[in-house]
Homo-oligomer: A and B are copies of this chain.
Amino acid sequence: MTVNAELYTEVQQYYANQMRLLDNLKIEDYAATFTPDGWIEHAHRGERAEGRTAMIAGMYAALPRYKGVVVRHWFDHLIVEPSDDGSLKVSYYTLVTRVNKEGHVVFEPTFTIDDVLVRIDGKLHTKSRYIIKDTPAE
C-alpha cells in the first residue's frame, strides 16, 4: 500500500503499452511483455496458458472471434503492492468493449485481474495474470 508515485506511473504506462499491443492484435509483441515462463489463467474457464509459445498459439486460435470488431480493454482502480523480492502484486478492474464497423459497441462481462510483475534488465514484465470473471454469489 506504500507504492510511490513514480512506480505507480511506471505501472500505468506499462499497461497502456501492453494493452495497445493486445488490442491491436500484435500477438508476438504482446507475448514478449510477459516473462518467458509467464502464464495467463482464465479462472472461470479453468484455462491456463503457460509460457509465451502457448500464449501465442492460444491467441492465434482465438483470432476468428475478433473478426470484424475492434477490442479495447479499459482498466480502473489499480492497486500496486511491492513485495520484498522486488516483484509487484497488481490488481485492477477491466471492462472490455468490442466495436464493429458500424460503430456499435458491445460489452464483455466485467473482470477483476491479479497480476505479478517482475523486472528483466530493469524493464517490467508480467510473470502471471489471473483473470476472474465477476460472478454474482448464488
Residues of A participating in the B interface, judged by any CB pair closer than 8 Å: 1, 3-6, 8-9, 12-13, 15-17, 19-20, 67-70, 72, 74-80, 91-93, 95, 97, 99-101, 103-105, 107-110, 133-136
Contacts and interface: CB of A to CB of B under 8 A. Distances in A.
B78 A95 contact: no
A54 to B, nearest CB: 25
Contacts of A76: 16, 74-76
B3 A6 contact: no
Give the copy number.
Answer: 3
Contacts of A12: 8, 78
A112 B74 CA distance: 12
A5 B13 contact: no
Nearest to A100: B136
B5 A134 contact: no
